[in-house]
């Protein structure tokens, strides 16, 4: 089983938290835009990416609504359509260079290409705007983690947890750091914390199996892997 470092998902952008930055969102269709954005985000959380794109495209068809463009870029990252994602993030940033989710998205796209140091540069741009953005903090930690800089990565995860102690992505990723250091029992404690928040959190389920596997607890590990596998087959049950 491959380990899962999570948190590359962009924060969901809604009219409520990013409307003031949405330079090209028309006021006359804001109610429809809000409804479509909400539905698209719901499908995204359920990992129903094709369905989420349908709703983002309904918005984009009528206006260059920045939240929808950025969210569509985020979906393309999840689908490994990196070129398309980067084009969308670049479009958003050409309109608003301070649109944080697009800055993080640019970083995520580079991260998926294995360009971790370049990804960090984009996360730093987001953090220059908002030093407390927990997604940028987490993802910067992920990039350092993948560079093998575990101590530095832990510091960034801890910064995110100091802002939100229940941030499930970071709880999972802290466990992975310990896993990579061979501290499997300590890792399990962090996966337990993540699963206490969401028992169907597929990444933590998978990683719990990984830690137990390393401890030689094969039967227990298989049970956790099976839970993760079943949820992967029915992604609507894995709501984050």
**Averaged pLDDT, 20-28:** 38
Q: For the chain, how many structural domains are there in total?
A: 2
Output the pLDDT for position 29: 52
pLDDT at 21 over 90: no
pTM of the model as a whole = 0.81
Of 19, 17, 1, 33, residue with least CA distance to 221: 1
Give yes or no: residues 220 and 117 share one domain: no
pLDDT tens-digit map of 150-184: 999 999 999 999 999 999 999 999 999 999 999 99
Give the separation between CA 19 and CA 73, rounded to whole angstroms.
Answer: 18
DSSP assignment of 134-194: HHHHHHHHHHHHHTT-HHHHHHHHHHHHHH-TT-HHHHHHHHHHHHHTT-HHHHHHHHHHH
Give yes or no: residues 172 and 199 share one domain: yes
Of the three residues 125, 159, 193, the one that is the final residue of a domain is 159
Output the pLDDT for position 130: 96
66, 22 contact by CB (below 8 A): yes
> End-to-end distance of the chain based on CA atoms, in angstroms?
21
Give yes or no: residues 176 and 153 share one domain: no
Output the pLDDT for position 54: 83
pLDDT confidence of 57, banded at 50, 70, 90? confident
pLDDT at 4 over 60: no
pLDDT tens-digit map of 126-159: 999 999 999 999 999 999 999 999 999 999 999 9
pLDDT confidence of 100, banded at 50, 70, 90? very high
Residue 194 maps to which CATH number?
1.25.40.10
Long-range Cβ contact pairs of 88-91 (< 8 A, separation 24 or more): 91/64
């Amino acid at each position: 089983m491959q380990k899962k470092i999570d948190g590359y998902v962009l924060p969901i952008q809604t009219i409520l938290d990013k409307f003031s930055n949405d330079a090209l969102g028309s006021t006359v269709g804001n109610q429809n835009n809000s409804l479509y954005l909400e539905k698209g985000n719901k499908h995204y959380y359920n990992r129903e990416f094709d369905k989420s794109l349908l709703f983002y495209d309904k918005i984009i068809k009528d206006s260059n609504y920045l939240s929808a463009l950025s969210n569509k870029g985020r979906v393309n990252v999840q689908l490994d359509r990196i070129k398309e994602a980067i084009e969308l993030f670049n479009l958003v940033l050409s309109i608003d260079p301070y649109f944080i989710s697009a800055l993080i998205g640019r970083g995520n796209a580079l991260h998926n290409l294995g360009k971790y140091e370049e990804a960090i540069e984009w996360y730093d741009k987001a953090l220059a705007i908002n030093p407390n953005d927990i997604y940028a903090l987490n993802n910067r930690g992920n990039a350092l983690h993948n560079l093998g800089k575990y101590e530095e990565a832990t510091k960034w995860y801890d910064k995110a947890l100091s802002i939100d102690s229940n941030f499930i992505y970071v709880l999972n990723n802290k466990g992975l750091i310990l896993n990579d250091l061979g501290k499997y029992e300590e890792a399990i404690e962090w996966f337990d914390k993540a699963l206490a928040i969401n028992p169907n959190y597929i990444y933590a389920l998978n990683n719990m199996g990984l830690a137990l596997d390393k401890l030689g607890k094969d039967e227990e590990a298989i049970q956790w892997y099976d839970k993760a596998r079943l949820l992967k087959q029915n992604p609507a049950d894995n709501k984050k």
